[in-house]
Amino acid sequence: MQTLLMFLGVLVVVIICCVDLGGLGNVWRIANEGNRIEFFNLDSSPFVRHTFWSTFVLGFYMMVGDIGLNQAVYQRFASVSSLRIAKRLSIFFLVGIYCLWTVFFLSGLVAFATYSTCDPLTSGKITKPDQILPFLVTDKLSHLTGLAGVFVSAVYGGVLSSLSSTGNSLACIIWEDFLKHRPYFSGLSSKSATNVVKIICKCFYLC
């Protein structure tokens, strides 16, 4: 549900801005004229931030690591009843994350197209580059009642989802690797062990 809310919150902003700017084609044209569309930059220099090698190739290995080695993701796979279901989940996850990234990339293009003639950062309206999308929502879409709330919900949904997964994973690691086999904890029932993990997880959130 959190993922759906995060996806829809940003997608609604992208769609409304595309309509206001004359369609996705116009957004793409403005971004292309501003040199923001670049797919096959094969420059091998390690000093160039975004190239084909750093995005497509290294991005592929990053995704393999996230799906196969990430503790939070592995916990989800381990909670299902069979390997077959886990494989299906990995495919769904991969498709979903690429759809989510596509929406995020489009939101960047929309923000650039909207402020192509007046950069909010250089004009002092915002102080950091990552403030541009929230600024876009409040600046251009504040007349639409409730849209700002939907966008904030999408952002917080993404943050809370990542935070809860990471906190739970760290708590489980501490229990399994450091506490489970100690004399005081070794005799605990499954229910008591679960309560200990919950307490550890809440301590992470408080910190």
In whole angstroms, give the CA distance from residue 167 to residue 175.
Answer: 12
Compute the average pLDDT of residues 112-117. Answer: 93
Specify the pLDDT at position 70: 80
Confidence at 16, pLDDT banded by 50, 70, 90: very high
CA 46 to chain centre: 25
| Structure-model confidence comparison of residues 1 and 84, the more confident one | 84
Instruction: Work out the mean pLDDT of the chain and round it to a whole number.
Output: 86
Q: Mind listing the pLDDT tens digit for each residue in 68-111? A: 778 888 888 888 899 999 889 888 888 888 888 899 899 999 99
> For residue 4, is pLDDT > 80?
no
Helix and strand numbers (H, E) in the chain are 10, 0
CB burial of residue 28 (10 Å; 0-12, 13-18, 19+): middle
Q: Report how many domains make up the chain.
A: 1
Structural domain of 146: 2-206
Compute the average pLDDT of residues 10-36. Answer: 92
> For residue 22, is pLDDT > 80?
yes
Question: pTM score, two decimals?
Answer: 0.78
Q: Mind listing the pLDDT tens digit for each residue in 125-160? A: 999 998 998 899 988 888 888 888 888 877 777 777
165's tokens: 């997964």
In whole angstroms, give the CA distance from residue 81 to residue 50.
Answer: 40
In whole angstroms, give the CA distance from residue 125 to residue 153.
Answer: 23
> For residue 59, is pLDDT > 90?
no
Specify the pLDDT at position 147: 80
Specify the pLDDT at position 1: 65
Q: Considering the chain, what percentage of its residues have pLDDT values greater than 90?
A: 27
| Structure-model confidence comparison of residues 154 and 14, the more confident one | 14
Specify the pLDDT at position 200: 92
191-206 in b/e form (b: 16+ CB < 10 A) is eeeeebbeebbeeeee
95-131 in b/e form (b: 16+ CB < 10 A) is eeeeebeebeebbebbbbbbbeeeebeeeeebeeeee
Compute the average pLDDT of residues 108-127. Answer: 92
